[in-house]
Structure 1
Amino acid sequence: MSNFYDKLCPFYHLIFEDWDASIEKQGSQLSAIIESNWSQRQTVLDVSCGIGTQAIGLCKKGYRVTASDLSVNEIERAKQEAPKRGQTNILFSVCDMRTAFRHHGGNFDIVISCDNSIPHLLTDDDILSALQQMYFCLKPGGGCLITIRDYDREQHCGKNIVKPYGKAKIENGKRYVALQVWDFDEPNFQHYDFTLYMIEEDLNCKEVVTHAMHSRYYAIGSEKLIRLMQNAGFENVIRLDESFYQPVFIGTRPLT
């Protein structure tokens, strides 16, 4: 998993139409969800921060943010990108979300994992382990917020399924085109191999290089994720739609 993101790291911002605009938008959207469901919260732990999209966005909204990721390269880039955007107080570190409590300790107001990170964990036991770690990172009454791809609506069979990322991007005299290819396992179609192709064309000499990054996902449905969050100890677990670009799942650590 970390190898995929280490390789994606220099291109990560290119999968967004406008990364800085996405930072601002997602920060505002996540802040609105937090404020609507948990009042007067200040500290946020992001256990799958990538290059910092949500961590930087929430820091801009006034939260005190701690952020970690499994990818060493992405953490190094996040440490560089945050100060460029005026955010110098985010505490970044390398950590597997399945050891989040052992690494970060507890007493956070909010813990988040966005951008379809949870489905990189390929078994119910691994997902439950991560959710339990997130649970223990929270103070009583604290909130957990997870976003994943809407697998309830995705095609769950077949191979060579192509999913483009939208428009090509131009940067430093090069054109970049990104696309995904999915290959589902048979016969249960719960897991799929995932290849992200980043096609890089030098607009001056017309040389083309294709970067292929490989990973694997668990196409977990809403009902199962909600049940696993409940099994981890969260209460009032629900799915929210139309609040974010992906479905949002929230739950609260009980007060007692």
Structure 2
Amino acid sequence: MYDDIASLYHLIYPNWDEAIKQQADALNDVVTTLMGSAPRSILDVSCGIGTQALGLAALGHTVTASDLSAAAVDRARTEAISRGLDMTFKVADMRQCTEVHGSGFDVVLSADNSLPHLPGEDEVRIALQGFYNCLRTDGIAIVNLRDYREDEDRSSPQMLSYGFRVRGSDRYFVFQTRDWNDDVYDVAMYFVREARVGTPASVTAGLDRYYAITVERLMFLFQEVGFTHVQRLDGILHQPIVVGRRGAA
């Protein structure tokens, strides 16, 4: 999906630059609370177009960022250059994060409900083990995801509107649709450019699938792969955060 929509994905936010700063400040507070205030080495294993990674680098952290989508990584790299940020970018599957990035990081991050892109619990477990292996002793993993509940409305189809967004002289209507099948659902993202005099309407769209893992189950898997001090944090970002610490070997 993200290769198709990387150039427009920032339009899901009313103000992307503001979102970058707000999310970085919030995540920095978590890192500072759990690890102290010194700049840290942070590995963002699902950076997308850079919403979290860019802001954390701007705060002085040493940030390595990767994503499965080459187009998203290219967009994030371009944004970093335009902001004068020195960052390392790679195209990589989060399940191979140890093989690609090695170990010794202070923080491993996966935000914006990215982990549930993996197709099931076994794949989530593989990714979490990789996060653990990428960390130094006493390092922390931070995963931010939607608060899936077994009793939530899973009727299909569903539509979520982000409203109208402006990009240059163009106006877009941005929305997504969801189609559920048990614990899995497909999301189609649409960026509809309105017709104007001399400019035809157009649609940019992408499709992807999510596995609706609950926060409670994710916390169990954190512990299963070796994390300690696993906890849920609410009220920091718009979705819950799960954090865990790598203990001594």
Partner of 1:69: 67
Question: Hey, what's the Cα distance between the residues in 2 that align with 1:153 and 1:57?
Answer: 34
Which amino acid counterpart does residue 80 of structure 1 have in structure 2? T
User: Which aligned pairs between 1:17-56 and structure 2 lie closer than 5 A?
Assistant: 17-39=14-36, 40=38, 42-56=40-54
TM-score (normalised: structure 2): 0.96
Match of 2:171, as an amino acid? Answer: R
Letter of the structure 2 residue corresponding to residue 29 of structure 1:
A
Quote the offset at 1:123 in angstroms.
0.9
8 A contact 2:222–2:230 mirrored in 1:
yes
Residue pairs, 1:39-118, within 5 angstroms: 39=36, 40=38, 42-87=40-85, 89-118=86-115
Alignment of 1:1-256 (within 5 A): 4-39=1-36, 40=38, 42-87=40-85, 89-152=86-149, 155-165=152-162, 167-185=163-181, 189-205=182-198, 207-256=200-249
Secondary structure class of the residue paired with 1:28:
helix
Shift of 1:206: 5.8
Tell whether the 8 Å contact from 1:173 to 1:203 is kept in structure 2 after alignment: no
SS of aligned partner of 2:66: strand
- Give, in angstroms, the shift of residue 254 of structure 1: 0.6
In the alignment, structure 2 segments of 5+ residues that lack a partner are: none
Matches of 1:216 and 1:172, distance apart in 2 = 31
1:124-152 Cα offsets, whole Å, 9 max, x none, are 11000000001000001000000011213
| RMSD after superposition | 1.4
Gaps (5+ residues) in structure 1? none
Question: Number of residue pairs matched?
Answer: 248
How far the C-alpha of 1:244 sits from its partner, in A, is 1.0
TM-score by length of 1: 0.93
CA contact (8 A) 1:69 1:94 kept: yes
